[in-house]
Amino acid sequence: MGEIAMLATILGMSAVTLFLKSAPLALLGSRKLPRVVEETLKHLPVAVLSSMVVQLVLVKDGTLQLDIDDVTMWAVLPTLAAAIITRNLFVTIAIGMGFVVVVRLIAG
Amino acid sequence: MSEEAETPRKNGPLRDVARGIGVISPVLMVYTAIGMAYGVLAIDSGIPPWLAVAMSALVYAGTAQLVGVQMIALSLPPVSIIITAAVINARFFVMASGLVPYLRQFSWWQRTLYAMQLTDATFALHIARLPRGNATKTEIYTTNIVGHLVWVGATTAGVIVGQTAENLDAFAIDFAMPAMFVGLLVPLVRDRGQVLVGLGAAAATIGFFAVGASFWTILLATAVGILIGLGADRWAK
């Protein structure tokens, strides 16, 4: 692919992404939403982030990989514990990544 | 702005800037790691450095960028790459919808500007913070702008170190994003119903992937989680 084609591709990716990010806020941003919609939106953050965590850990190259030797799969447990106990994002990330580093060092 | 009427607290633009930086600071180390990894991958994939950096500035969506550079490296048709980016980023449409009730005080162009810098992390940070109603516009935009700048800066650093930075996995960079999302998710879970929402969405994600729903899974699983939440609300009443 030539440089111009790459640039066009990137501009296209940018356009669709910016549309998806801005459409709801631009189109209905100042309107009062019906109560049903607001109740639905209340559950959205937990649902979407839970799905993302599972995908990030269990999905590799577009397919589900339940590998018992995969450190990152087990690392979710201490990370979750750290998040529940400390409720601190910095500590949670540090403990999660620290766990993976230590296990990899030990397992060599 | 509504926040002035609410809790009395120390104000001032500098304080708001500091608060905005404070809110995003834990995320910045993840952005640095992933942004650099993306920059390295882009160079490895034969993307010219300036285009790799331009993608971070213009697209600003990690997963779509990582997939995008690999598809560009394979010289796949641009339209298929753009459609893939749209499918991967469809979740932002959902997240932006979730923020609608809390950005009502913003003017049209302020909301649009906000949306351009929306990411998974800023969504999670703001959906935890905005309902409490004490974040000023200065704080909110500072969080967004700093995140975007660090992402572009990290990409630039990754592009510069290029191939010399092999084997980043040793530092658990592959777990940086999952750890960040766990840390962003847990404070949002406020009651038992929402525990069910999270577990339901997680189980649905595995289920949908098992039957091959691939990129669409996140939207389907989110819908399942929300339905469980609505059911739990009704049960509680």
Please tell me whether residue B12 adopts helix, strand or coil conformation: coil
The per-residue pLDDT for B3 is 42
B170 to chain A, any CB pair closer than 8 A? The answer is yes
Residues with Cβ within 8 Å of residue B178, at least 6 apart in sequence: A53, A56, A57, A72, A75, A76, A79, A96
- Asked if residue B72 has pLDDT above 90, the reply is yes
Average pLDDT, integer, range B27-44: 92
User: Residues 192-221, chain B: which have Cβ within 8 Å of A?
Assistant: 194, 197-202, 204-206, 209-210, 214-215, 217-218, 221
Q: What is the DSSP letter of A64?
A: E
CA distance B163 to B167: 10
What is the mean predicted confidence (pLDDT) over B210-234?
89
As for the ipTM of the complex, it is 0.91
Which of chain A's residues have a Cβ under 8 Å away from the Cβ of B111? 22, 25-26, 29
Q: Is A102 on the interface with B (CB under 8 A)?
A: no
Which residues of chain B have a CB within 8 Å of the CB of A73? none
Band (pLDDT 50/70/90 cuts) for residue B166 is low
**Chain A, nearest residue to B212 by Cα:** A63
- Identify the pLDDT of residue B9: 59
pLDDT of amino acid B165: 59
CA distance A85 to chain B (A): 10
Structural tokens at position A98: 């620290």
Q: What is the pLDDT of residue B170?
A: 63
Two tokens, residue B235: 């049960």
Question: In the predicted model, is pLDDT for residue B13 greater than 60?
Answer: yes
Interatomic CA distance for residues B198 and B83, integer angstroms: 28
**pLDDT at position B8 over 60:** no
CA distance B76 to B62: 19
CA distance B168 to B162: 12
Is the alpha carbon torsion for A88, A91, A94, A95 positive or negative? negative
Residue B77 contacts A where some CB pair is shorter than 8 Å: no
Q: What is the pLDDT of residue A54?
A: 94
Q: What average pLDDT does the structure give for chain B?
A: 89
Task: Write out residues 36-75 of A within 8 Å (CB-CB) of B.
Answer: 38-59, 62-64, 71-72, 75
pLDDT in tens, B127-143: 999 988 889 999 999 99
Chain A CB within 8 Å of residue B29 CB:
yes
User: Where does residue B101 rank: exposed (0-12), middle (13-18), buried (19+ CB within 10 A)?
Assistant: middle
Hey, of A33, A40, A43, A95, which one would you mutate to test binding to chain B, going by the most B CBs within 10 A of its CB? A43
Question: In this predicted model, what pLDDT tens digit does every residue of B83-137 receive, in sequence order?
Answer: 999 988 999 999 999 999 899 889 999 999 999 999 999 999 999 999 888 899 9
- Of A30-34, B3-7, B61-65, B148-152, give the range with the top mean pLDDT: B148-152
How many Cβ contacts (< 8 angstroms) between chains A and B? 284
* pLDDT over 80 (residue B225): yes
- Cα B137 to Cα B12, B108, B115: the distances in Å are 12, 14, 13
pLDDT > 90: percent of chain A: 64
pLDDT value, residue A1: 83
Question: CA of B154 to nearest chain A CA: how many angstroms apart?
Answer: 18
CB contact under 8 A, B197 and A47: yes
pTM score of the predicted model: 0.87
The owner of tokens 């749209």 is B86
**Is B175 in contact with A75 (Cβ distance < 8 A)?**
yes
Residue of A30 and B1 predicted with greater confidence? A30
Judged against a pLDDT cut of 80, whether residue B169 lies above it is answered with: no
